[in-house]
Structure 1
């Protein structure tokens, strides 16, 4: 994998406004922190982090979001540092904002967003930072229905390439994960909607596969205390995140 496929985002650490992985240093008697601890304790492990994501997603689906941890008093606690409880590798699609989908506030998720939730050199660097310095115990690769990057890849598999160079480079990162769908894509009268749906899940699994097989990615995921890897698909109509087994 080389950075000619996707431009490396320079100043990764500075641009994200990251501290050096210290815990959220606030006094125990802080009313805000006590309230947070009483309602939703900081997850102790990946299982608890996943449970919290699922609970937040359920509130989102039920139209009963808490909209918690957005007020200025909470934001002031995040000026010096951060302590997110999970990392989300998601798509850049404007319809899929992780913080809203999981009903969390400022400082609770470390999000990496790139079209097609692909694995590239700078993405691995971001995940490594999250696991090594921020010690997030859970990493979720989050795809979504009707993903434009995946749809463009399917279109190229059916027809000849029509996208500009840089979108074409993105497609080349997705394409290897869709090889099992190649024959289906070339069948006469293929149901493109069903094909894209299958491709979205295949692409999530492809990103997960790379995170457990590419040497640099494996090292990144094992930094610090390591992290549990999960995959999920966001359903645009229902708002549900379907976690993959």
Structure 2
């Protein structure tokens, strides 16, 4: 069941039409021309599958400690003064150890990032995702959780009756908790936290997928939605099925 806090957001989505699909193999339509042109620049991904491949290639370079640090110099930045053309949207956590541009070895203008503790779904987040799909025509949205997430850990600790957080953090916990309701709280603490991080990513995806515009948008193939978990020790992003 979708969190009751999303009810008001559904009206917002009905007006703007957030594009969210689920299958990576489905083509996401993008404009035919790339407004940012520069010699030796990578071609803009034609669909969500190519966008995902580009993220995976960047993450592999990051893991292997051979980042290119492309698209960071002044000549490239000058091309972005009047426009932008990111190829993927990343909804991630505010954690300082999980900067999407570094994790995916991406430069200026390549990723549209939304970051807040616990990569939760809120009204502002949905509005930002709408903008990414409707105005920037981004073909791929990734909900990116990570190991050792403090917001998820705080939620688990409360579920175990170990701690009570201040009011504002408690509000954050209440947005995460429904997605962890089916976890086995009797498993080892490390296993529980790992399972909770993945469950939270899937919960965010579930909430977005349950919004009323989803079925129409899947047919229109406007954007593809995926989940992933970042491993702190290895630097790897494990994309979820």
Equivalent position of 1:35 in the other structure: 40
CA distance in 2 between counterparts of 1:99 and 1:221 reads 28
Q: Given the alignment, which residue of 185, 199, 202 partners 1:202? A: 199
Equivalent position of 1:8 in the other structure: none
Equivalent position of 2:90 in the other structure: 88
Maintained 8 Å contact 1:83/1:108: yes
* Cα distance, 1:72–1:219 mapped onto 2, change above 3 Å: farther
The DSSP-based 3-state class of the residue aligned with 1:35 is: coil
Equivalent position of 1:12 in the other structure: none
**1:164 offset after TM fit, Å?**
0.6
Equivalent position of 1:25 in the other structure: 35
CA distance in 1 between counterparts of 2:120 and 2:147 reads 15
CA distance in 2 between counterparts of 1:89 and 1:61 reads 20
Equivalent position of 2:115 in the other structure: 113
**1:214 offset after TM fit, Å?**
2.5
The DSSP-based 3-state class of the residue aligned with 1:53 is: helix
Equivalent position of 1:239 in the other structure: 235
**1:156 offset after TM fit, Å?**
0.5
**1:220 offset after TM fit, Å?**
11
Maintained 8 Å contact 2:34/2:44: no
**1:197 offset after TM fit, Å?**
0.3
Maintained 8 Å contact 2:35/2:85: no
**1:34 offset after TM fit, Å?**
1.9
**1:70 offset after TM fit, Å?**
0.4
The DSSP-based 3-state class of the residue aligned with 2:79 is: helix
Gaps of 5+ in 1: 4-20
Equivalent position of 2:169 in the other structure: 167
Relative contact order: is structure 1 or structure 2 higher (C-alpha 8 Å, sep ≥ 6)?
2
Segments ≥4 residues shifted beyond 6 Å: 219-224
CA RMSD of the aligned region, Å? Answer: 2.3
Question: Would you say how many aligned residue pairs link Structure 1 and Structure 2?
Answer: 214
CA distance in 1 between counterparts of 2:207 and 2:110 reads 26
* Cα distance, 1:2–1:219 mapped onto 2, change above 3 Å: farther
CA distance in 1 between counterparts of 2:179 and 2:220 reads 29
**1:215 offset after TM fit, Å?**
2.9
Gaps of 5+ in 2: 7-30
* Cα distance, 1:224–1:166 mapped onto 2, change above 3 Å: farther
TM-score by length of 2: 0.83
Cα offsets for 1:80-133 (capped at 9, x unmatched): 110000000000000000000000100000000010000010000000000000
**1:41 offset after TM fit, Å?**
1.5
CA distance in 1 between counterparts of 2:170 and 2:78 reads 42
The DSSP-based 3-state class of the residue aligned with 1:34 is: coil
1:145 aligns with 2:147: yes
* Cα distance, 1:221–1:241 mapped onto 2, change above 3 Å: farther
